[in-house]
Amino acid sequence: MAEAAGIAPQRAWGKGRLVAKPFAGRTRLAEFYQEGCAKIRLPETFDTTMEAVLINSSGGLTGGDHMEWSFSAGEGTHLTLTTQACEKIYRASAGTADVTAQISVGAGAAVHWLPQETILFDRASLSRRLEVDLADGAEFLAVEAVLLGRKAMGEAMREGLFQDRWRIRRNGILLHAENLRLSGDIAGLTHEVAVLGGQVAFATLFYTGAELRAAPGKAAQPDRRHWWWGEPLPGRGRGQADRPRRCARWFRLEKNPHPGHFALAQGRLCAESLEPVIDTQSW
């Protein structure tokens, strides 16, 4: 019994890589690799794009588990990435689950990163990183949703750790940086108005690409609130009246206290400074 107690528990480990290339007017497979519990499936598509479904065959993650994903979309390709199911992060007896995704998007290519929700159970511990490198003319769309427990099942994440790090660059220049950390008393922290105001579900949406334009029904004006992701927002650098700042816009979608409604928080990230939230709209 004493020997059994000293045996380290088995941990899940997986690594998956996919590289897409253009061929005969369609997006085709150039490289494919999967190891451990990381699996990738490519369902048939009936247009020029490619879809990839990511699977964690271990059935969930807990402390000490490790998942590593790598994707590259060659010039002019279109790749959509999603998951087979919600990723469940279970209570950790020791250690932290680690998930890393690296995405490279070539010139004129598009990648849509659309995983299903991540569900964190009480005392779960997760560290997650997203690194994206974009070439000129590349399009990138990302939507990441997180649930702190399953309310309908009477579950809640009261304690634990969730940290999320995003870095998105175009030609090596930073477009978007975001660090999120919820730790310790999660229930108390998320009830703070400046955090989630008592809500348990939230999502982050990011888009940059050729389809950017002024907000519908509004002309492109110097007012930065009328611009969308990735556009160089007109403004003044410190002490430089005519220098436009390299800015990108971020959005955070949260559940509104009123059933069936949501709130959209908006902010700006500029090369010179990180500016606070602009405004919040509800619908």
Which among 272, 176, 191, 281 has a CA at the least distance from the CA of 229? Answer: 176
Question: In the predicted model, what is the mean pLDDT of residues 209-237?
Answer: 45
C-alpha distances in angstroms, 272 versus 175, 187, 278? Answer: 12, 35, 17
Please, which pLDDT band fits residue 151 given cuts at 50, 70 and 90?
confident
pLDDT at 281 over 50: no
Q: Which residues of 253-276 are buried (b: 16+ CB within 10 A; e: fewer)?
A: bbbbeeeeeebeeebbbbeeeeee
Whether pTM > 0.85 for this model: the answer is no
Q: Tell me, rounded to whole angstroms, the distance of Cα 111 from its chain centroid.
A: 12
d(C-alpha 235, C-alpha 231), whole Å:
12
pLDDT at 152: 85
Task: Show the tokens assigned to 225.
Answer: 């609130």
